[in-house]
Amino acid sequence: MASIRDVARLANVSPATVSRILNNNQVYKTTDETRQNVLRAVAELNYKPLVKKRIAEKPEAMDSRFSVGCLLASTKGKYSDPFYLSILGGIEEELKKLGGMITLIHTEQELENRAVLDRFLNAGLDGLIMMRPLAEPLFRLLHSRIPHIVGIDTGHMPIDNVEYDHLRVSRMAVEYLYQKGHRQIGFIGGGVGPVPMKRSRRFRSYLETMQDLDLQVNPQWVLDCDWDDKKCVELVENVVRSGSLPTAFYAASDLMAMAALRALYQMNVRVPRQVAVIGMSNIEMSKYANPPLTTIDVPTVEMGIAAARTVAARVRGDTTLPKRILLPSVLVERDSA
């Protein structure tokens, strides 16, 4: 069994720092990076802090503490997607205020390992926040073993869900391009968990909006890159080589939009003069793309905050029907479209 010294060694901090972070000590300030390193070390080592005896003077404070697991959405590295890391940051900061803490962080792929799954199920979690839809058997198992689950954009019906409006963001993107004079608009995206791209809400809304605007969808311009930036670059370059380019691409992720910008640059296609590009999510680095990326802002930090508040309320006795919390998105105009 891992000790606090093991956690400190892996996170490259002192045991005292680990203790302060795990106990939400506000007297000694630590950086967000240090806190992240400690929480990752706790998750990787499956460290379980010793439960202290209840202090008679403060029974309510001890009782209010609760632990939450988190399932990250990830197609490559566990901590590689800034969209989900921003959500995670919102969750962590809000849980800290509410007396909770994230004690385990995993991806769906990691739970395919039976030993990891068993540790996850037996960790005594009070709640779980999951950032992607899961295969139904795995979801049912988690739902049967963890008292309170909140989804972020998962679509699973028996639980609370915090979402942005997928249908609206795609409509906003396509209508914006239409207003800029574009009539040949391609789509770049991928599937969501077990749901393939062509059944995803963002793609279906793209199709519906194109139809409403009397625009034709060219299958050559519909690129399923499976959220892989290298695959996205390759597919966009293939379209350029075909000699049949749309005048604009809507990419359902800023990371894929920036991969498309890179591919177009490498193929000497000028953006936005020859091809416009619009993304979706407004991650921090999108403003530094070349050219700066026009995108739809999704309030990721606020989604994390809402999820943390919802799971805290459930842990503390909220028994109302499952909620669907829908947060607004806005268009951010920059130079790529």
Q: How confident is the model at residue 113 (pLDDT cuts 50, 70, 90)?
A: very high
Cα angle vertex 190, ends 185, 192, to 5°? 135
Average pLDDT over residues 167-193: 95
Residue 143 and residue 82 share a domain: yes
Residue 137 maps to a domain: yes
Residue 195 and residue 257 share a domain: yes
Structural domain containing residue 253: 166-297
Residue 217 and residue 170 share a domain: yes
Given a contact cutoff of 8 angstroms between Cβ atoms, the answer to whether 170 and 250 are in contact is: yes
Residue 144 and residue 21 share a domain: yes
| Per-residue pLDDT at 118 | 93
Q: How confident is the model at residue 26 (pLDDT cuts 50, 70, 90)?
A: low
Residue 308 and residue 171 share a domain: no
Average pLDDT over residues 263-280: 97
Average pLDDT over residues 174-185: 98
Q: How far apart are CA 39 and CA 44, in angstroms?
A: 9
Average pLDDT over residues 182-196: 91
Residue 337 maps to a domain: no
Q: Which of these ranges, 192-201, 243-252, 272-281, 309-318, has the smallest mean pLDDT? A: 192-201
Q: How confident is the model at residue 52 (pLDDT cuts 50, 70, 90)?
A: very low
- Report which DSSP code applies to 320: S
Residue 132 and residue 182 share a domain: no
Does 265 score more than 80 pLDDT? yes
Residue 146 maps to a domain: yes
Residue 305 and residue 160 share a domain: yes
Q: How confident is the model at residue 57 (pLDDT cuts 50, 70, 90)?
A: very low
Residue 35 and residue 157 share a domain: yes
Given a contact cutoff of 8 angstroms between Cβ atoms, the answer to whether 135 and 155 are in contact is: no
Q: Which of these ranges, 140-149, 192-201, 224-233, 282-291, has the smallest mean pLDDT? A: 192-201
Average pLDDT over residues 183-198: 91
The structure's pTM equals 0.76
Place of tokens 């479209």: 337
Q: How confident is the model at residue 60 (pLDDT cuts 50, 70, 90)?
A: very low
Domain count of the chain?
2
Residue 192 and residue 87 share a domain: no
Residue 305 and residue 157 share a domain: yes
Look up residue 281 and give its two tokens: 């999510």
| Per-residue pLDDT at 278 | 98
Does 8 score more than 50 pLDDT? yes
| Per-residue pLDDT at 75 | 58
| Per-residue pLDDT at 61 | 43
Residue 96 maps to a domain: yes
The CATH number given to whatever domain includes residue 242 is 3.40.50.2300
Residue 189 maps to a domain: yes
Given a contact cutoff of 8 angstroms between Cβ atoms, the answer to whether 223 and 188 are in contact is: yes
How does pLDDT run across 283-301, given as a tens digit for each residue? 999 999 999 999 999 999 9
| Per-residue pLDDT at 28 | 55
Residue 121 and residue 54 share a domain: yes
Q: Which of these ranges, 75-79, 163-167, 197-201, has the smallest mean pLDDT? A: 75-79
Given a contact cutoff of 8 angstroms between Cβ atoms, the answer to whether 289 and 154 are in contact is: no
Average pLDDT over residues 72-83: 75
Q: How confident is the model at residue 194 (pLDDT cuts 50, 70, 90)?
A: confident
Q: How far apart are CA 315 and CA 66, in angstroms?
A: 8
Residue 108 CA: distances (Å) to CA of 10, 79, 138, 144: 23, 13, 9, 17
Residue 333 maps to a domain: no
Residue 310 and residue 239 share a domain: no
Residue 112 maps to a domain: yes
Residue 45 maps to a domain: yes
Q: Which of these ranges, 71-75, 96-100, 208-212, 240-244, has the smallest mean pLDDT? A: 71-75
Q: How confident is the model at residue 157 (pLDDT cuts 50, 70, 90)?
A: confident
Q: How confident is the model at residue 49 (pLDDT cuts 50, 70, 90)?
A: low
Closest CA to 100 of 124, 126, 70, 122: 126
